Amino acid sequence: MDASSKDNFKAGYVAIVGKPNVGKSTFLNNVINFKVSAISPKPQTTRHKILGILTGEDFQMLFLDTPGIMKEPRHELDKWLLKRAFEAIDDADVVVMLAEPEKPEEIDIRIVEKIKESKKPAILLINKVDTVNKSSILPIIDEFAKTETFKEIIPVSVLKHINVDIALNSIKELLPYSPPFYPKDAITDKTERFLVQEILREKLFYLYGEEIPYASAVEIDIFKEKDENHGGKDYIRAVIHVEKDNQKKIIIGKEGNKIKKLGTIARQEIEYILGRPVYLELWVKVSENWRKKPGFIRDAGY
């Protein structure tokens, strides 16, 4: 990159915010074409502020995926997740809010107010527009436009890639002029250990019922590359923390069938992401009321 192109380069942090299950993580993973953030049909899958990096010829976007912003925190974990989401808005150069294709609810307005208070340039993406009648979109745009918070309001479908390029161009326009923060081939600042943890959490959401994933925390206890004791494969030992003994039994399943399935599908994706063979060992541990313990939440990396 020569001196003149540096003067025209844009780079900055982009916070992706919204209520649970509006497609924030899907947006992040799709635009950088790599799975950094856990995705599931259930709300509140994301528990971390995740950095995904998209670099073009004259820009670098550093995306912060955030936990879904909820109405009322129920325990210490929820309070911590809410704090992280609001911190991302304060840390960002640009804020991208995702919303459902419906008139704004109370929680949407709360998010809008937080964005407005931050005075950060923002755009709104009304996601999943492929699932509703086009005539219903204009009144929704009008409702959000009345808040006078967004530079642009763009109807999109992240899954169908409708107007996503338009959204990215709008984000680029709002970025400050700056040299890149990371090498052009960087995709995330997260470690392999973290990515493995996210894959395991995602599979918990897919395989188990309503209660189990929310009551579970994943800790990577051991991560050894090319371990001779395991045939030269990477050796990964993960601990799944739950709050009650009956939750432990559910995760393990009859004769261990459920945890075997979890291990198999997680290992396959971990090997795909890492690009090398893995020996994955899973343990389940009862850590009573861990979601109510700030010390545990902090030590678990939240």
Q: What is the overall mean pLDDT for the chain?
A: 84
Alpha-carbon gap, residue 259 to 255, rounded angstroms: 9
3-174 fold? Rossmann fold (3.40.50)
Helix 192-207 / helix 257-274 crossing angle, nearest 10 deg? 140
The pLDDT value given to residue 46: 44
Is residue 273 over pLDDT 60?
yes
User: Which amino acid is located at 302 in the chain?
Assistant: Y
DSSP bridge partners of 280: 236
User: Which amino acid is located at 252 in the chain?
Assistant: I
Confidence tier at 272 by pLDDT (50, 70, 90): confident
Confidence tier at 291 by pLDDT (50, 70, 90): confident
| More confident call, 251 vs 171 | 171
Contact 217, 300 (CB under 8 A): yes
Give the list of residues 6+ apart from residue 259 with CB closer than 8 angstroms, or none: 251, 252, 253, 282, 284
What does the pLDDT look like over 213-244, one tens digit per residue? 677 888 888 998 888 888 899 999 999 998 88
192-299 fold? GMP Synthetase; Chain A, domain 3 (3.30.300)
What does the pLDDT look like over 96-137, one tens digit per residue? 999 999 999 888 998 899 999 999 999 999 999 999 998 999
Portion of the chain with pLDDT greater than 90, in percent: 42
| More confident call, 51 vs 95 | 95
In the chain, where the domains are located: 3-174, 192-299
Is residue 43 over pLDDT 60?
no
How many Cβ atoms from other residues are within 10 Å of residue 121's Cβ? 20
Confidence tier at 41 by pLDDT (50, 70, 90): very low
Q: Report the pLDDT averaged over residues 274-301.
A: 78
Portion of the chain with pLDDT greater than 70, in percent: 82
Confidence tier at 70 by pLDDT (50, 70, 90): low
- Block residue for tokens 């210490």: 76
Lowest mean pLDDT among 21-25, 50-54, 153-157, 180-184: 50-54
What does the pLDDT look like over 72-98, one tens digit per residue? 655 566 666 667 777 888 889 999 999
Is the sign of the CA dihedral 105, 297, 227, 186 positive or negative?
positive
The pLDDT value given to residue 37: 59
Alpha-carbon gap, residue 269 to 273, rounded angstroms: 6
Contact 130, 145 (CB under 8 A): no
